[in-house]
Chains A and B, each alone.
Chain A
């Protein structure tokens, strides 16, 4: 077998292990969906009237705000799911099993590839589940074309990949799973400082740069534009640049740590 076949085969084995864990312990994944779903319901049903009035300039009804908030909640869901990945990677790296893998003649990166692909697939599944809640409370994406739908799916996958690589790096940098969970907190907190809940230009002037120069805002603007069929402007390129940059950074960081001698 060629080196590439072996790499694919071993990575696939590790991915199956990863998915088996998720399948056996679904509560670990589902718990991570609670925060985005709760925030969605809170903002729509409790703050909804005020929020819609603010956004629509006084006259908007609640459905306008649902249309506004759901794309942000979807990307926040990815942030939440990848916190799980950071904790999971840290758990894996601090246990004896990783030493066994390292002393076997398997493709060295297979453990990481398993984690990354597994986390991206879980993120997409989570987005579908939270998206279903969005549709149930009235979110509609009927103005989008098929192409925009595919682009939206691609963006979700790319964004999940970027956050996953960062999360994997965090998981490896942490001494234990608890620390990994804390370190990865920004992944679910950043959307609160983005244009997920209100447009960035409605925030105080001094705060706007914080909202604008971070990955969530351009990605949310792009996803919103794609799902609502309202155009994305330059946000699409910005979002892709953020995703590629974060992926490359997380990849380098994770690999450097993985290749270091374990303690």
Chain B
């Protein structure tokens, strides 16, 4: 029976070169607040795409539009080759969505949740039981399968959520902040799960506010800020967008800081933190010449750190945060 339904939800007819998701000038406003102000996307099939942005940047709105939950005010979007506005049911047959908020039925057991999904995907009873058992096993939920989902921990709920999303064998999966609120161990488990999905050839569209996560998982990253895509590319390409690394000298004595600052005119000053930044790519040769220079200028810093650019820098540079809250991510002392 469900041959017609199944064929659309399997990966058989995917064209590897074509875009799994594409959008042109997507716009959405709530009242006079522009949430999405014309975004373009092109996500090749079989890749992992991360939409990165601070809270309120419009990430969830983008996912909602692409997953047919809400309609865009303007622009066009195609998912799995179907227009989201003109043929939402065809899009829905090809996608799986795990939203930001737990989409499990807390009143029934984990297993019943899985069987509910199987029924809604029109699997036969035996097929449904097989798929449910398989996924419960894969997501380490066998022991909890007979308990009401409301009794699950945050990590378990999230795993059940993703397991439910996979029941129909979707080719494109939307994950809206899949690790927000998870403890570090659960987060790493979730990363493993996402990598596994990709190795099966599924296209993954994920949103995150964690740069580390986008760096770990995504082939391509788009930085969304104020409803616009501020930059797009691979993690390395994005890192190349901003000025390179630097050596940071920190002083505890204001007088020492002032004399160092006048000696090293090339350095960028941060008077509040009593620190100087000297551009450097962090190689041994450059470090040695900086050290020599400091010696000849008779500058003795209390702390020296080498900073290579990471996505945090990109993020803060692109999203226009003026004061960079310095996370001590430097590699050397």
Q: Determine, out of A20-28, A36-44, A62-70, A144-152, the stretch whose residues face the partner at the interface.
A: A20-28
Q: How far is the CB of A109 from chain B (nearest CB, A)?
A: 13
Q: How far is the CB of A245 from chain B (nearest CB, A)?
A: 32
Cβ-defined contact, B120 with A13, below 8 A: yes
Interface membership of A4, Cβ < 8 A: no
Q: How far is the CB of A232 from chain B (nearest CB, A)?
A: 41
Cβ-defined contact, B99 with A96, below 8 A: yes
Q: Which of B4, B105, B119 contacts A97 (CB 8 A)?
A: B105
Tell whether A103 pairs with B107 under 8 Å between CB atoms, given A13-B116, A96-B102. no
Docked pose: A24 CA to B146 CA in angstroms: 13
Cβ-defined contact, B122 with A1, below 8 A: yes
Cβ-defined contact, A262 with B69, below 8 A: yes
* Number of interchain pairs (Cβ within 8 Å): 70
Chain A 247-263 near chain B by CB (<8 Å), digits 1 or 0: 00000000000000110
Q: How far is the CB of A22 from chain B (nearest CB, A)?
A: 10
Q: How far is the CB of A153 from chain B (nearest CB, A)?
A: 30
Q: How far is the CB of A120 from chain B (nearest CB, A)?
A: 20
Tell whether A21 pairs with B107 under 8 Å between CB atoms, given A100-B97, A103-B92, A105-B92. yes
* Chain A residues touching B, range: 20 to 34
Docked pose: A106 CA to B5 CA in angstroms: 11
Main DSSP-derived SS at the B contact region: loop
What chain B residues lie within 8 Å of A221 (beta carbons)? Answer: none
Interface membership of B291, Cβ < 8 A: no
Main DSSP-derived SS at the A contact region: helix
Cβ-defined contact, A103 with B95, below 8 A: yes
| Chain B stretch 53-78: residues in CB contact (< 8 A) with chain A | 67-71
Q: A1-B122, A97-B105, A105-B92 are in contact. List 10 more A-B contacts (CB 8 A).
A: A1-B4, A10-B120, A24-B107, A24-B148, A96-B104, A103-B97, A104-B120, A104-B168, A105-B9, A105-B93
Q: How far is the CB of A10 from chain B (nearest CB, A)?
A: 6
| Chain A stretch 1-36: residues in CB contact (< 8 A) with chain B | 1, 6, 9-10, 13, 16-17, 20-21, 24-25
What chain A residues lie within 8 Å of B122 (beta carbons)? Answer: 1, 6, 9
Interface membership of B255, Cβ < 8 A: no
Q: How far is the CB of A137 from chain B (nearest CB, A)?
A: 34
Interface membership of B112, Cβ < 8 A: yes
What chain B residues lie within 8 Å of A25 (beta carbons)? Answer: 107
Cβ-defined contact, B107 with A96, below 8 A: no
Interface membership of B1, Cβ < 8 A: yes
Cβ-defined contact, B103 with A100, below 8 A: yes
What chain B residues lie within 8 Å of A95 (beta carbons)? Answer: 101, 103, 106
Which partner residue on chain B sits nearest A100 by CB separation? B103
Interface membership of A99, Cβ < 8 A: yes
What chain A residues lie within 8 Å of B164 (beta carbons)? Answer: 100
Could you give 16 example pairs across A and B, Cβ below 8 Å? A9-B122, A16-B119, A17-B116, A21-B107, A24-B108, A25-B107, A95-B101, A95-B106, A96-B104, A97-B103, A99-B99, A103-B67, A104-B121, A105-B89, A105-B90, A261-B71
